């Protein structure tokens, strides 16, 4: 990992940005204070909401942290397909007694307003998902002293990030919980590549430092991605269950509840592939949900909130990586320490084996 990135924290452990409430200032502060890199997720928030969280986090810790932004989305969805899906969700709206949202409620996630704040009052690191920013955007952040990271899921996307001048890539394997950060959702593109296959491909394509994400729950897996060429590991699901995480309690409990025994990629909730625990909503709607983000996200937003308010995990988006069953309900600082100790033990064992 480049020295600028390694200098941000003691351990090569990044707490993933998790939009929807999980990666709140309390969680990010606990991780950064413990020697990892905490992250805030600006996605779905207003620019002011993002700024309030940044200020709150700065009140909790003087350690470095990251802020993650969603890229604005081009208009490519088939309006007729969105309309068909809207009709297919009518039964859900009746069941939860909640109207469906307006699919045209906005597609830029307040991107320019968020960038303006981050340029005026810089943070140590900004990462992007769902696309690659323009070179001048990354250059402006760099001039403000901010490191920039672009999430990638293929070697081509990594090349685009390098071309735009990113300082590093977050390589996201198909095991990852939540949305795939794919730059453009193409239903014909197949289902994605596993992390340990993707890291060396990307290392052989670009010169950028790699942050590896997807399915990592133990220090031994951090050792594996470091061996494969990553400079650090980004963990979402592992931190989602921590007491400091702002994730809904039902979401946390579902991670290790045997009722939810597998994950799948689905467009059912948002119109973009995202990995979550298979529940009733995914089973019933996943097969025919259109590639239409953020239209489908807006459509189902009220339904998901109503399901949570009703205490019904079968109607919520239970984002989770493939390793969810290995989640440990530990305070975030303790989790960072345990992961670091496991990493150190795995690295020592690897050194012994390769020496013998
Ligand atoms: C609940 C949840 C929300 C997420 N939200 C974001 C987000 O806002 N921005 C982002 O870049 N990645 C997001 N991700 C993906 C993570 O950055 C990371 O790629 C993923 O958590 C890694 O896989 P793991 O969950 O198996 O550790 C989210 C993941 C989860 C589980």
* Cβ-based neighbours of 217, under 8 Å, separated by 6 or more: 235, 237, 238, 321, 323, 326, 327
Give the distance (Å) from ligand 1 centre to CA of residue 324.
12
Domains present along the chain, CATH in parentheses: 3-73+108-260+318-355 (3.20.20.70), 75-107+265-317 (no CATH)
DSSP alpha helix (H) spans, 131-191: 135-143, 155-164
pLDDT digits (tens, 9 = 90+) for 128-162: 999 999 999 999 999 999 999 999 999 999 999 99
pLDDT digits (tens, 9 = 90+) for 278-327: 999 999 999 999 999 999 999 999 999 999 999 999 999 999 999 999 99
Give the distance (Å) from ligand 1 centre to CA of residue 178.
5
pLDDT digits (tens, 9 = 90+) for 82-120: 999 999 999 999 999 999 999 999 999 999 999 999 999
Q: Cβ–Cβ contacts within 10 Å for residue 103, how many?
A: 21
pLDDT of residue 5: 84
pLDDT digits (tens, 9 = 90+) for 227-246: 999 999 999 999 999 999 99
Beta strands 263-266; 274-277: pairing state: antiparallel
* CB distance 319 to ligand 1 below 6 Å: yes
Token pair, residue 5, equals: 């990135």
* Ramachandran sector of residue 119 (left: φ over 0; alpha: ψ -120 to 50; beta: rest): alpha
* CB distance 236 to ligand 1 below 6 Å: yes
């Amino acid at each position: 990992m480049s020295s600028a990135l390694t200098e941000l924290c003691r351990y090569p452990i990044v707490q993933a940005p998790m939009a929807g409430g999980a990666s709140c200032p309390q969680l990010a502060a606990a991780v950064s204070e413990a020697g990892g890199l905490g992250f805030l997720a600006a996605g779905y928030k207003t620019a002011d909401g993002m700024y309030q969280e940044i200020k709150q986090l700065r009140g909790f810790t003087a350690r470095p942290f990251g802020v993650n932004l969603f890229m604005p989305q081009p208009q490519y969805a088939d309006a007729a397909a969105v309309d068909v899906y809207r009709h297919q969700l009518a039964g859900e709206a009746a069941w939860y007694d909640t109207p469906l949202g307006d699919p045209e409620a906005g597609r830029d996630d307040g991107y320019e307003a968020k960038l303006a704040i981050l340029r005026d009052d810089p943070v140590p690191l900004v990462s992007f998902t769902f696309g690659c920013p323009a070179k001048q955007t990354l250059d402006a952040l760099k001039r403000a002293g901010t490191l920039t990271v672009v999430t990638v899921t293929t070697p081509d996307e990594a090349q685009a990030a390098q071309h735009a001048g990113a300082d590093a890539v977050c390589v996201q394997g198909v095991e990852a919980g939540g949305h795939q950060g794919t730059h453009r959702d193409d239903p014909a593109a197949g289902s994605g590549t596993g992390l340990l296959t993707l890291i060396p491909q990307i290392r052989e394509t670009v010169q950028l430092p790699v942050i590896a994400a997807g399915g990592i729950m133990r220090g031994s897996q951090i050792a594996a991605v470091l061996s494969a060429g990553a400079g650090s590991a980004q963990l979402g699901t592992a931190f989602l269950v921590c007491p400091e995480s702002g994730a809904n309690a039902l979401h946390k409990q579902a991670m290790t509840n045997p009722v939810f025994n597998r994950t799948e990629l689905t467009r059912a909730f948002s119109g973009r592939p995202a990995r979550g625990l298979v529940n009733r909503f995914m089973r019933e709607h996943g097969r025919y949900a259109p590639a239409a983000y953020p239209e489908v996200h807006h459509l189902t937003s009220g339904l998901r909130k109503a399901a949570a308010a009703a205490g019904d995990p079968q109607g919520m988006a239970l984002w989770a990586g493939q390793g969810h069953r290995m989640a440990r309900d530990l305070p975030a600082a303790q989790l960072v320490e345990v992961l670091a100790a496991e990493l150190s033990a795995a690295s020592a064992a690897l050194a012994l084996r390769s020496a013998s």
